[in-house]
Structure 1
Amino acid sequence: MKNLIVTAFFLLAFCTHSKAQQLKSPEGKFVMEFSLLSDGTPSYNLKYKNKEVIKSSKLGLELKNDAKSLLNDFTVVDSKTSTFDESWKPVWGEQNQIRNHYNELAVTLNQKGTDRQIIIRFRLFDDGLGFRYEFPTQKNLTYFVIKEERTQFAMAGDHTAFWIPGDYDTQEYDYTQSKLSEIRGLSEKAYTANVSQKSFSPTGVQTSLMMKSADGIYINLHEAALIDYSCMHLNLDDKNMVFESWLTPDANGDKGYMQAPNHSPWRTIIVSDDARQILASKMTLNLNDPCKIEDTSWIKPVKYIGVWWEMITGKSSWAYTDELPSVQLGTTDYTKTKPNGKHGANTAHVKEYIDFASQHGFDAVLVEGWNEGWEDWFGHSKDYVFDFVTPYPDFDVKGIQAYAKSKGVKMIMHHETSGSVRNYERHMDKAYQFMKDNGYDAVKSGYVGDILPRGENHYNQWIVNHYQYALEKAADYKIMVNAHEAIRPTGISRTYPNLIGNESARGTEYQAFGGSKPNHVTVLPFTRLIGGPMDYTPGIFEMDMTKLNPDNKSHVNSTIANQLALYLTMYSPLQMAADLIEHYNKFPDAFQFIKDVAIDWDQSNYLEAEPGDYITVARKAKGTNNWFVGNVNGETSRTSNIKFDFLEKGKKYTATIYADAKDAHYKTNPQAYTIRKMTVTNKSKLSQLSAPGGGYAISIIENK
C-alpha cells in the first residue's frame, strides 16, 4: 500500500490555554481530545463509538532535584496533525502483511517560567490510541532525572480486570479476575512465592492489563517500544478508578536518567467491543520502529525439544555433582568429584534427544545444565557465576555438535546469568563467539534471582538497557534470542526480529511447581502476548508429576487436547515440545499434531474469544493452503461452535480433530482424548465439546 501523508498546521502561539483539540481514528470509531486544564496541565480523554473509555486524564512528568517539574503551567505553541498509511511485511508473525494506519496529533508545549518544551504525540488507530512524551533539543532541558511519570488513565467505571500484582522483578503470577475496586482486598492473596519479587502497592498492577466494562467494552493498557526507559506499572486510585503510571526505580530510587533529544515509550490503549479484535491488534508492533537488521535470512522460526522438563520436575538435575558446597570457576576441578548420576546434560542423553528430533522433524534441541557452575548458582549474591564456555566433563561440545550436524539438527545454547548481568556482559562476546564456533544459532538466556549489581531491579532503565544490549549484540553474531525472566516484550521484535521469544510470565514450568489455574492460558493472550510471543513451552502429556519425581506432588492443570491447542493460541515462532521422549512415545497419535503444526503463518483469524473463558483461532501455514485451529477452554465445560468459512472456496480439505473425550477433565481425566477425520469445505461448521481445562486442535490439509 502506498504511503499517504497529509499534514495540517495549527499555530496557537498566542493562546494562554488551548481549546480542546480533537483527533479521530481513520474509520471514525475513536475520538481523542487533548486540552490544557486551567493551571496549564496537559490532559486527554478517549471515546469509542461515542462511549467514554478514558475520562479526562492528566499527563506529565515529575522531575528530581528540579525546582519545577513537567506537570503544569504549559501553553500550546504548535500543533500538527497528519495521516499515515502503509503495509509492511514481518520477518515472522501471525500475518504475512500488517497494515499501519493512524491519524496523528503532535502538540508542542512550552512551560512558563522555565521556557522548556515538550511534545506530546498521539497516534489514533482503528484499534486504539498510542501516545508518548518527546523532549526536543533545547538549552533549558538537556539532562534530567525522572522522579515519576504522572500519566493517568481514568476509567469510566468499576471494570472487571485480569491482573497480576505490581512488581519490579517478576511477572510470574497467576492472574486474578476481579472488579477494580476489589484489587486492594485481594492483593495479598494474588501474590505467590517467587525467587525474586518486589511489590510496591496494594493497588499496583502490571501491564499488559486487560479489562472489560459492564457494557461489554474490552480495554487493554500497555506500552510499546520500551527503549532506554523504565518499565511502566500502574497504580490505582480505587476511590476514583484512576490508574497512574508507576515506573520501576533503580538502586537509588530514581526512575529514569534522560538526555534530550529523547522520548518515552508509547503508552497504549487498545479498545474494542469484540474480544477477538484485542487479540488481533497489531498496534503494539506498529508503534515500534521498522526492522534495523538488514539481512534477516538467518532468522527462522524454530520448533524444538530439549533436556529441560526433567530438571524442572526434579527427575534430573542441572548440577554435575552433589559434593561441592561452593564453586570457583577456574579453580574447581570437576574431574576429581563424583558425578551425582542425575545430571541431565550428559552426552549420551543429549544424543537421544538429537535422535528423536531428527526422527520426528524438529529443528533443534535445547540443553540446560551443560556448563560448570550449577552447584551454587543461585541465592548467594555471587557475581562470577558462569563463564558460558566451559562444559562439564560429561558434556562433549564438539562431539555433540558433529552428531547434531550429521542428523540435520541444530543445538540451542543456554545462558543462565543468575541475575549477574555485569558478569554476562563481561563474557558476552566470548560466549556468542563460542556459540558460533560450535554451531549454535539461538540462545535461551535466563535472569533468575536478584539482579547484580545489588539493588537494581529486573525492570528498571539500566537493566532494560542490558536486555537491549544483549539483543543487539546477538544480532551482530547472527544469533536469535529467547530471554527468560527479562522485561516483558513491548513489540521490540518488529525492530529486532532476532528476539524470537520471551518468557516474562508464568509459564508451563509452574505446572511442576504446584500448578497454574486451568484458565491461565485463556488470559495470557490478552495480557502478556499483547507485546510479543511467549516461550510458553507447551506439549505436556503426563500431568501427574509424581510419575517423574515421587517428591513432586504437582499436577498439570490441563488436558492433552488443551496442550495441543496451545501451539495455536499461544502464538510464537519458537515452539517447544516440552515433555519427555517416553511420554510422546506413549501417545504417538496425539504427538502427531505437534509434529504437523506449523509455527509461521500467512493469516490468522480469531474465531471465538472471551478473556478467562476461551479462545479459538485459525491460522494458515506460511506458503501453503493448509490451516490449523486451536481452542483452549477455562474451568467450565462448553461447546465451541465455529465455521470453516476461512477456507478457500471450491476446495476440499481433510480435517483431523484432536479433542477432549466426553469424560475428560483437567484434574480427574486429563489424558482422555479422541481423534477423528472428516472432509470439510468453506461451508462446513463444527460443534465441539471443550472440557474444563481442555480444548481441541485441528489440522486442515488441502486435498490434492
Structure 2
Amino acid sequence: MKFYITAIIIFCAGLLNAQTVQSPSKEITVTFAIDASGRPNYTVSYKNKPVILKSGMGLEIKHLPALTGGFKAIETAQSTVDTSWKPVLGEVAEIRNNYNQLAIALEQVETGRRMNIIFRVFDEGVGFRYDFPKQPNLNYFIVSGENTEFNLAGDHKAFWIPGDFDSQEYAYNETLLSQIDNQKVDMNNGIGMKSIPQRYAVQSPLMMKSKDGLYINIFEAAVINYPVMHLQSDPAKHTLKSLLVPNAMGDMAFLQTPAHTPWRTIMVSDDARKILAQKMILNLNDPSAIDDTSWIKPMKYIGIWWEMHAGKSTWDMSGTQDAAQKTTATPRPHGATTANAKKYIDFAKKHGFEGLLIEGWNTGWEDWYNNWKEEVFDFTTPYPDFNVKEVSDYAKKNGVQLIMHHETSGSVSNYERRLDRAFKHMKDYGYQSVKSGYVGRIIPRGEFHDGQTMVNHYLYVVKRAAENKIMVDSHESARPTGVQRTWPNYIAAEAARGNEFNAWSVGNPPTHETILPFTRLLGGPMDYTPGIFEIKMNVYDPTKTEQVHTTLAKQLALYITMYSPLQMAADIPENYEKYPDAFQFIKDVETDWQDTKILEAEPGDYITIARKTKGKESWFLGAITDENTRTTTVSLDFLTPGKKYRAVIYQDGKTADWKNNPISYEIKTQEVTSKTKLKLILAAGGGTAISFMPIDK
C-alpha cells in the first residue's frame, strides 16, 4: 500500500482573490473565490475547457441569516493524498485514492459563524462539501435550503429522469438540457408512487455530453444524515441548483455541529469509459466500519419471485393480488409454499446457486398496498402453507442459503419497532441476508423516500444488520452513494427501474441498460435481476402483450455490464431447463472481481466490459447495445500474454431482434490469446456474453 500526504497551509484573513487546486494529472482545475458581497463561488475546467462556469455556494438556515454571503476567508490549506485500499467486494481488488485537496475556512463577518468548504480533486472529477465546526454561534440548526449551483458551459445532451422524491423507477429521457420538462414525461409507466414537485427538476446522478465531446456527470457521495440531492434546472440558462428533499414539516435537514453535508460531485472526461471506471464516489466515503468482514460474501441466487411478476402465482395466500397490486378475477396459486420452496432448493443445489429468495412467505399481503396502514407485516408470522422450520432445515441440508424478504409497505416506523425481532427470527432459522422493500407511502406520514428521515433509516437497518452479521439488499430505497465502502454488508440495492417492469408495464426500452451504468450504478451495485429467458409474457397468458425489451443474449451480457456481487438468475426453473446451454453462462459467471476493463462505452448506445475473476485466471465479457444493431471488434489484450484460453461465446442469432425474435441465440467455442481480436455482431436490443477459461498446458 502506498501512502503519502503533503500539506500547505496559508493564513489569509479577508481573502478575496482566487485559490486554485488541480487534479494529480493537472487536467482538471478548480478555482475558488469570494465575490465582493462575500459569497463563495467556484469554477471547474477540464483540459482548459470550461465545465462549470462561476457558480454560487452556500446554505439557507431556518430562523437565522443564510450562510450564502458576507464571508471572509480566514485560512486555507492544500494537501495531497495518495493511498490505496482493498474493497471487501468489488469490481477491482484494489482501489487507488489519489487527490489534491483545498480547504477554505470561512467566517461570516456579521454573525461570527464559521463554515468550511472542502474540495477534493481527483483525475476523475471534483468533490466538495460544506463542513461546520463546533462553535459558540452555531450549534443546533435546521437547513431550509441549499444554494449549490452548477452553471454549465453549454446546452448539453442529458440523460435524465424526473426529480421524484419517492421513486427512481423511470426510463431515461435523452434530450438537451433546454428540453427538460416533466410535463412531457409519459406517466403511464407502471410506477405506483410518484411525488414530482417541480416541472423542471431532475434526479442526480445526471449524465451529460457536451457538443465538443466532454462527458459530465453531477452526483453526490456519502449521503449520511442528510436528504438526497435532486437538481432544479433552468432550461433557458443551462444551469442547475441543488434541490433537497424536505421532511414532513417542509424542512430539509436537522443538524448539530460539528457536522457536514454530503459531497457534491462533478465527474468529467473526454472518454466515456473513464466515467464508468471511476472510483471517486467510493473514495469520498469513509473506510469500513466493520472490522471482521469475513462473513460478507458474494452470491448468485434464484427466487420465488419472477413467477409472481409473470402472473404464474401470487404473493398473497388468497391468490387475488397481481404484481401491479390489482385484484385478479381468477385466484392463482400462492407462490411461497413449503412444497414450492423445496422445489427451488432442489434446483439451486443441482445447479450450484448459493441462495434462494422467497417472497410472500409471511402474512399481510392481502391488504398491504396503498392503504397507508401502519401495521401490515410483523416479519415473523408465516402463512399456514409455509413451514419456516421445515424449509430452513431442508435448505441447510442441501447447502442453500435462504434470503429473507422484508417488505415494509412503506411503514418504516412499524419496521423499526419490529426490526430486532425480525433479525432474531432470521438468525434462529439461519438466514444470512435480507432483501428489504419500501413500496408505498412512507410512515411516518408525510415523509418522502429520499428525505433525511429515510436516509437515516436505511443506514440504521444496515448498521443493525451488521451487528447481526446480516447482508442487506434494499429495494425502493434512496440510491446508494458509495456508502457500501463504510458498510460493506450493504451488498446491493435496486433504487432504479429494474427488470421486473418488463413483466407488467410498458417495460424498459432497449437503451435503458446502456444508461444505468452511467447513472444509478455510479453509486453502487444494483440488484437489476437479469437472466430472463422467456422474453414474451404471453407464454403465461395468451392475452398478455408485455415483454422484456432485450434479446436472450443481452440478458446474459447484463451479468457483466450491470455490476453487483449479488446476482439473481431471475427467471423460473422451468425456463432455464428449456435452454440449458444458455443457462450455463449464468452458472459459470462470477460475482467478485480482481480487475475490470471498460473496453467500449457510449451512454445510451453501447457498453462492452471485461472482468477478471478474483483469485482466478478466468475472464468474462459482456457487450450490449441499444435498439440499433451493432458490429464491433474487440481486442483481447486484457488476457494474460502467453496463455491460451477457451472462449465460449453466447451471441445473438443471425435473425435475432429484441422485439420480433428475442430468443434466437448461438453458442460457439474457440481458442484465443491476448493477441486475438473478436468480431462481435449484436442484434437490435441485443448483446454478447463470453467466458474465457485458461487452457492448462
Fold shared per TM-score above 0.5:
yes
- CA deviations over 1:141-183 (Å, ceiling 9, x no partner): 1111111111001100000000000010000000000000011
Separation in 1, partners of 2:563, 2:44 = 30
Separation in 2, partners of 1:54, 1:131 = 13
Structure 1 equivalent of residue 262 of structure 2 = 265
Structure 2 equivalent of residue 25 of structure 1 = 23
Structure 2 segments unaligned to the other structure (5+ residues): 322-329
Check conservation: 2:289, 2:487, Cα contact below 8 A.
Answer: yes
Structure 2 equivalent of residue 298 of structure 1 = 295
Check conservation: 2:471, 2:489, Cα contact below 8 A.
Answer: yes
Report deviation, 1:322: 5.3
- CA deviations over 1:179-202 (Å, ceiling 9, x no partner): 000112764337734211110212
Separation in 1, partners of 2:558, 2:603 = 15
Separation in 2, partners of 1:75, 1:192 = 50
| AA in 2 matched with 1:350 | A
2:112 matched to 1:115? yes
Structure 2 equivalent of residue 328 of structure 1 = none
Check conservation: 1:165, 1:190, Cα contact below 8 A.
Answer: no
Check conservation: 1:187, 1:202, Cα contact below 8 A.
Answer: no
Structure 2 equivalent of residue 698 of structure 1 = 690
Q: 1:529 aligns with which of 507, 521, 524?
A: 521
Separation in 1, partners of 2:320, 2:114 = 63
Structure 1 equivalent of residue 642 of structure 2 = 650
Q: 2:631 aligns with which of 636, 639, 658?
A: 639
Structure 1's 98 and 57: CA in aligned 2 closer, same or farther, altered over 3 A? same
| AA in 1 matched with 2:348 | A
Report deviation, 1:553: 2.5
Structure 2 equivalent of residue 235 of structure 1 = 232
Separation in 2, partners of 1:553, 1:371 = 31
Structure 2 equivalent of residue 409 of structure 1 = 400
Structure 1 segments unaligned to the other structure (5+ residues): 325-338
Report the TM-score when normalising by structure 1.
0.96
Alignment length, in residue pairs? 687
Separation in 2, partners of 1:554, 1:104 = 51
2:305 matched to 1:308? yes
2:493 matched to 1:502? yes
- CA deviations over 1:407-463 (Å, ceiling 9, x no partner): 111000000000000000000000001101101000000000100111110000011
Separation in 2, partners of 1:69, 1:3 = 39
| AA in 2 matched with 1:60 | G
User: For residues 163-174 of structure 1, what are the structure 2 equivalents within 5 Å?
Assistant: 163-174=160-171
Separation in 2, partners of 1:569, 1:258 = 39
Separation in 2, partners of 1:626, 1:208 = 33
- CA deviations over 1:664-699 (Å, ceiling 9, x no partner): 100000000110001100000011111111010000
Structure 1 equivalent of residue 326 of structure 2 = none
Structure 2 equivalent of residue 331 of structure 1 = none
Structure 1's 610 and 186: CA in aligned 2 closer, same or farther, altered over 3 A? farther
2:35 matched to 1:37? yes
User: For residues 235-384 of structure 1, what are the structure 2 equivalents within 5 Å?
Assistant: 235-321=232-318, 342-384=333-375
Check conservation: 1:398, 1:438, Cα contact below 8 A.
Answer: yes
Check conservation: 2:319, 2:333, Cα contact below 8 A.
Answer: no
Structure 2 equivalent of residue 684 of structure 1 = 676
Check conservation: 1:187, 1:203, Cα contact below 8 A.
Answer: no
The secondary structure found in structure 1 opposite 2:180 is: helix
The secondary structure found in structure 2 opposite 1:625 is: coil
Structure 1 equivalent of residue 153 of structure 2 = 156
2:101 matched to 1:104? yes
User: More deviation in 691-700 or 311-320?
Assistant: 311-320
Structure 1's 191 and 137: CA in aligned 2 closer, same or farther, altered over 3 A? farther
Separation in 2, partners of 1:188, 1:340 = 34
2:79 matched to 1:82? yes
2:454 matched to 1:463? yes
Structure 1's 204 and 454: CA in aligned 2 closer, same or farther, altered over 3 A? same
Separation in 2, partners of 1:322, 1:353 = 20
Q: 1:595 aligns with which of 575, 587, 590?
A: 587
The secondary structure found in structure 1 opposite 2:194 is: coil
Structure 1's 205 and 323: CA in aligned 2 closer, same or farther, altered over 3 A? closer
Report deviation, 1:237: 1.4
The secondary structure found in structure 2 opposite 1:422 is: helix
| AA in 2 matched with 1:112 | V
The secondary structure found in structure 2 opposite 1:425 is: helix
User: For residues 135-150 of structure 1, what are the structure 2 equivalents within 5 Å?
Assistant: 135-150=132-147
Separation in 2, partners of 1:287, 1:530 = 13
2:46 matched to 1:54? no
Separation in 2, partners of 1:481, 1:567 = 20
Structure 1 equivalent of residue 510 of structure 2 = 518
Structure 1's 185 and 145: CA in aligned 2 closer, same or farther, altered over 3 A? closer
Separation in 1, partners of 2:304, 2:600 = 35
Q: 1:554 aligns with which of 543, 546, 553?
A: 546
Runs of 4+ in 1 over 6 A off after TM superposition: none
User: More deviation in 443-452 or 197-206?
Assistant: 197-206
Separation in 1, partners of 2:241, 2:566 = 34
The secondary structure found in structure 1 opposite 2:500 is: helix
The secondary structure found in structure 2 opposite 1:101 is: strand
Report deviation, 1:547: 1.3
Instruction: Give RMSD over aligned pairs.
Output: 1.2
Separation in 1, partners of 2:346, 2:405 = 20
Q: 1:63 aligns with which of 61, 64, 85?
A: 61
User: More deviation in 569-578 or 137-146?
Assistant: 137-146
Report deviation, 1:323: 8.6
The secondary structure found in structure 2 opposite 1:541 is: coil
2:575 matched to 1:583? yes
Separation in 1, partners of 2:196, 2:367 = 27
Structure 1 equivalent of residue 558 of structure 2 = 566
Separation in 2, partners of 1:207, 1:590 = 36
| AA in 2 matched with 1:273 | D
The secondary structure found in structure 1 opposite 2:175 is: strand
Structure 1's 636 and 190: CA in aligned 2 closer, same or farther, altered over 3 A? farther
Report the TM-score when normalising by structure 2.
0.97
Check conservation: 1:313, 1:552, Cα contact below 8 A.
Answer: no
Check conservation: 1:566, 1:630, Cα contact below 8 A.
Answer: yes
Aligned-residue identity in percent: 54
The secondary structure found in structure 1 opposite 2:181 is: helix
| AA in 1 matched with 2:4 | L
Structure 1's 8 and 190: CA in aligned 2 closer, same or farther, altered over 3 A? farther
The secondary structure found in structure 2 opposite 1:471 is: helix
